[in-house]
Chains A and B, each alone.
Chain A
Amino acid sequence: MHGLINRAIQTFVCQTYGTDRWRQVTEAAGLGFAEFEAMLMYEEDQTRRVLEALCADLGHSRAGVLEDLGTYLVSNPHVEALRRLLRFGGVTYVEFLHSLDDLPDRARLAVDDLILPKLELREQSPGQFSLSCGPGLPGFGWVMMGVLRTMADDYGALVLLEYQGMCQEFEVITITLIETSFAEGRSFELGARAG
């Protein structure tokens, strides 16, 4: 598992629940270290154990923890760069949704060994979409739930999300766009640099 993904989990836990909590989790997971390096690769099993220990420690479901992680990734100022990169996808929420097809390729363009699951957006009818998340990162669909929900706020759109579960080996999310400009949204300037 790529260090960036492990590191994302680490910063999420440290920022949200504190470093003591994180240390507890890594100990419970039998990691033998407390710091993931963003640019190194780790065993898949280490990530699985950390997530398991985290859910047990918080007493939350895996789905809930992963969705919170998704929310954190695009809303916390510590990871502002990621939100900016996603906003490059389009000027409107719908354009952003369509840009998700390119997300794994874009990620690989930046970090060539970062493999994200294939994402496929289908427009069922105007304002009604489904997003399929391919295999590779079990639970990635839940992370995307958090990302999609928070990015809707970011664009000021009002959406309804539903996790449909597994369809063959794809996790499917349905997205219903109720209003494109429901609220002001957060400002995004192309030329600003992430701090």
Chain B
Amino acid sequence: MISKDELADILIPLCPMFVLVDATGHISRVGPTLQKLRPGRAMQGLRFLELFELTRPRMVTTFDGLLAVSGAKLHLRFCDQPHTVLKGAIVALPENGGAIVNLSFGISVLDAVRDYALNSADFSATDLTIELLYLVEAKSAAMEASRTLNLRLQRAMIAAEEQAFTDTLTGLKNRRAMDHVLGRMISAGKAFALMNLDLDYFKSVNDTLGHAAGDHVLQQAARIMVEETRDEDIVARVGGDEFVLIFDRLLDQDMLGRIADRLIKRLEVPIAFGDHTCRISASAGSVFWRASGDPQADQLLHEADLALYAAKHAGRACHRFFHPDMRDGGRGGDGPAIGVCRVDRATGS
């Protein structure tokens, strides 16, 4: 039978956090790494349960009780600060010779290595702590790289989405964006006014002065529409010279009528392009959605279109509100449409 000291010398390189406890429950030897955790306090001679508080198994309060669970897995922590949590295994020595307890940090190892300034010499050759620390650092670095990539991708996605929803010539929303917003407003049950607006005589600008002039006119027209609407309204270019305006929560017919008139009036102001002057006007048709019933976006757009045809039919350069009579191919000009028609100022020639 080997002596306690011989046993301790064997244990040092194999499990440097061992505790040899004698039959009375007092510590006779501890491994060097364990002692390193309490540099100012010799562990030898202390009662095991005075140094460590057992958290599992819970019922055990005496060292004899501990010996009785020989082979069990222990959860314990230091009684004094810092209360580092440890895992352990206890094996009773034969002939009432006390016990060997082998301790390890378990999941608290990351903090322990930092708090106690441990290094690889403090762990046995078979201990996987160094590999674990390595893995934690390597994974954090890899995760950080992934996170950076994710952030960049997210920014790129937002930029791409914005681009996909923007008409690049005018900076207005495009048809996709308009469909998207309209669908969202309908399903959110928001009240709004929808206006279809066509530029009149735009084609002749394009044909006589060229596409560059046409593009310039579209940009100026877009600017005017943005200026004449509020931030919460939507202005979209949905075709060559076709625009859709959505007025959030605007249900006042007089007010929308005035906005339409002002838009048309400003669009009729001649636009200079080089040595030339471009003259256009606009026709518009509007419909209100009062957030009741079950409308389809298509249906609303169609009704606004009918009102727009009525305005064109009435000689262009004017604005009409949708009226159900328009559905049966009725002539908008005769219906109870509201809005002032200014045919006389329309041609701009």
Q: Which residues of A contact B (CB under 8 A)?
A: 4, 7, 37-40, 81-82, 84-85, 88, 90-91, 106-107, 109-111, 189-194
Contact B113 A190 (CB under 8 A): yes
Closest chain A CB from B271 CB (angstroms):
40
Query: Is A88 a contact of B133 with CB atoms below 8 Å?
Result: yes
A-B pairs under 8 A by CB, number: 66
Q: Which of B98-115 contact A (CB under 8 A)?
A: 110, 112-115
Majority secondary structure of chain A interface residues (helix, strand, loop or mixed)? loop
What is the interface residue range for chain B against chain A?
Answer: 20 to 34
Whether the Cβ atoms of B138 and A106 lie closer than 8 Å is: yes
List B130-178 residues whose CB lies under 8 Å from chain A: 130, 133-135, 137-142, 145-146, 148-149, 152
For the complex, what is the distance from the CA of A91 to the CA of B120, rounded to whole Å? Answer: 7
Distance A38 CA – B148 CA, assembled complex (angstroms): 9
Contacts A39-B145, A191-B113, A194-B141 aside, 4 further interface pairs with beta carbons under 8 A come to A38-B148, A88-B134, A90-B120, A110-B139
Residues of A within 8 A of B110 (CB): 191
Interfacial chain A residues near B117, Cβ < 8 Å? 189-191
Instruction: Check if A81 sits within 8 Å of B137, measured CB to CB.
Output: yes
Q: Which of A4, A37, A90, A190 contacts B133 (CB 8 A)?
A: A190
On whether the beta carbons of B114 and A191 are closer than 8 Å, the reply is yes
Q: Is A85 in contact with B145, judged by CB distance below 8 angstroms?
A: no
Interchain CB contact under 8 A, B120 and A37: no
CA distance A192 to B119 in the complex (A): 11
Chain B hits for A106, CB < 8 A: 134, 138
Are the CB atoms of B139 and A37 closer together than 8 Å?
no
User: Nearest 4 CB-CB pairs, A to B?
Assistant: A191-B114, A110-B138, A38-B145, A191-B113
Give the shortest distance, in Å, between B139 (CB) and chain A (any CB). Answer: 6
Please, how many angstroms separate the alpha-carbon atoms of A41 and B114 in the complex?
35
A88-B133, A88-B134, A109-B138 known; A37-B152 Cβ under 8 A: yes
Is B121 on the interface with A (CB-CB < 8 A)? Answer: yes
Is there an interface contact between A91 and B145, defined as CB atoms closer than 8 Å? no
